Structure 1
């Protein structure tokens, strides 16, 4: 079996401020302008402090004139309830606010316009016409943005394409902001023994079936995220990858859910689909106890796209800190 690198912008790695020629990425008819997300500073609405909660991220603006065509950025938001019995399951998009070009400042590293954005919980529910009392733990909001340029063009979620949604440019044109509870930053951090319960398509998902790794607060989700770094599919020749986790607390301890925060693509294939690990949708396959962070577990979907002729499969992963100093 021969694995090859997937040659697309999604697999590009390197220094975060290394410029990639825009002419190779921008298409004036589709993705002619976008926000490159530099960091997600607060990744959700804190359920125990909704009055001050906000989704916060920092981004820089790019276009074919090095940021010179920016008019403004429009933000919209939608709402999805986690309780289908008492509230409408979904409320469609409503306009939240428009941020003019004058509020951006030049980023020293790139020379492009940049800004830290915040969509507050209050702004979101006001735009949607719902009350704070309507919102429950586990609900979620989807934030979308559209870039408007001085030549009258607009670029939003419908303009998203693989060259800009991932990799260096990281411009998905939208973000999900769950209603979640802050996880104590002193919990679920440090050295853990990680055990994969059964082989995947390529054997180990990580560096081996059992190994040690450092778990730390995810800088892209300080609300309830953790991240660890590991070699993938047991081969150091492919380098190391970040595996981000989301600890979603529920009203009932037994309903807590731990998942991968999103898909983890390796940028590798056998000439077809890329090897990708994805979150497992079944909440019963994960568990964590907020009073005891010495042991917890989650599940992921191995090889979700069926790369290299292998079938997708569910992999159980257990973390144990009791035997690690």
Structure 2
């Protein structure tokens, strides 16, 4: 199981957070305190393939030991993942996209800096000198954020813990966001009551809380093409992009927010993606990683485990 390098929870700490709590006061490290970018609102998580002015937009609250007093700027990094390489693989490694200064953040209701981070689709295309016509629904951009403090320290994905990354817990600071390129589908598609079963050779650990089969209701999510179901403790969320199904990264499998050592997360498989027939929503498959990126929780998943779920409409 991964261990947080800078940001970890005290193993004996138990607390109940409200919106007015200064959450950073509960984030501890043996020597120094860290910083987080708390997700206040995911306004628009994906790019619309046919609209280069569509944007990824999220509202964030910066928290540090000095309640924003040592916040300098946020650096954005971007990567392109060509998930439809039939016309040639155009995938591109991570680049530095831009910096957002602390002056773009305003004091929010908690007395902490709050700002809107936005990446326009056209901006992402130009950053990699891509041909917009070659990008297909199902392709992805990956945005990573790095906090820079005035004392020279930086914090990003390598500095967190399971209970910091997931939106299921108070901190909601994944530092990393997957931006799917989508074509909008009708809101009623892939919703309703479904029977699910785990197919293939992989059987989840009994401690995972995921049964081999069952009945779930799939509902629309907060934005286009997003669907939700109660399959895991947080409520499994996935996005339909082209003919592929992408589970949201860093979702909580067991909601052990108070103790990162036992907190397990889920996410997408980087090699296999469930396929969907956009003309028929009666059956589809989804690949889900338990113990995503090593966040398996003590005794649950020594290594990440991928399970394939088949959903059949009732």
Q: Equivalent residue for 1:265?
A: 253
Residues 222-259 of structure 1 deviation map (CA, whole Å, 9 limit, x = unaligned): 242211225x5xxxxxxx4311122221xxxxxx2224
Q: Equivalent residue for 1:317?
A: 309
What does 1:210-249 align with in structure 2 at a 5 Å threshold? 210-213=214-217, 215-219=218-222, 222-230=223-231, 240-249=233-242
Q: Structure 2 CA distance, aligned partners of 1:311 and 1:123? A: 37
SS in 2 for 1:74: strand
Larger radius of gyration, structure 1 or 2?
Answer: 1
SS in 2 for 1:123: helix
Q: How many residues align?
A: 291
Residues 277-305 of structure 1 deviation map (CA, whole Å, 9 limit, x = unaligned): 54345647x34332333443324345675
Q: Equivalent residue for 2:106?
A: 105
Q: Which one has the bigger strand percentage? A: 1
Q: Equivalent residue for 1:279?
A: 268
Q: Equivalent residue for 1:297?
A: 285
Residues 112-159 of structure 1 deviation map (CA, whole Å, 9 limit, x = unaligned): 22122210012223333334245333332222223233x342424265
Q: Structure 2 CA distance, aligned partners of 1:122 and 1:204? A: 41
Q: Compute the displacement of 1:179 (Å).
A: 2.0
TM-score, with normalisation over the residues of structure 2? Answer: 0.73
Q: Equivalent residue for 1:155?
A: 154
TM-score, with normalisation over the residues of structure 1? Answer: 0.71
Q: Structure 1 CA distance, aligned partners of 2:215 and 2:122? A: 44
Mapped contact 2:207–2:300 kept (Cα < 8 A): no
- 1:202 equivalent in alignment to 2:206: yes
Q: Equivalent residue for 2:40?
A: 38
SS in 2 for 1:168: coil
> Cα gap change, 1:242/1:18 in structure 2, threshold over 3 Å: closer, same or farther?
farther
Q: Structure 2 CA distance, aligned partners of 1:100 and 1:204? A: 42
> Cα gap change, 1:148/1:29 in structure 2, threshold over 3 Å: closer, same or farther?
farther
Root mean square deviation, CA, Å: 3.9
**Structure 1 gap segments, 5+ residues each:** 1-6, 233-239, 250-255
Q: Compute the displacement of 1:169 (Å).
A: 1.6
Q: Compute the displacement of 1:276 (Å).
A: 4.9
Q: Compute the displacement of 1:192 (Å).
A: 0.7
Q: Compute the displacement of 1:313 (Å).
A: 5.8
> Cα gap change, 1:76/1:288 in structure 2, threshold over 3 Å: closer, same or farther?
closer
**Structure 2 gap segments, 5+ residues each:** 1-7
Q: Equivalent residue for 1:77?
A: 78
Q: Compute the displacement of 1:84 (Å).
A: 8.0
Q: Structure 2 CA distance, aligned partners of 1:63 and 1:314? A: 36
Q: Structure 2 CA distance, aligned partners of 1:311 and 1:152? A: 36
Q: Equivalent residue for 1:177?
A: 179
> Cα gap change, 1:316/1:258 in structure 2, threshold over 3 Å: closer, same or farther?
same
Q: Compute the displacement of 1:161 (Å).
A: 2.0
Q: Structure 1 CA distance, aligned partners of 2:39 and 2:128? A: 25
What does 1:44-123 align with in structure 2 at a 5 Å threshold? 44-49=46-51, 51-82=52-83, 83=85, 86-96=88-98, 98-108=99-109, 110-123=110-123
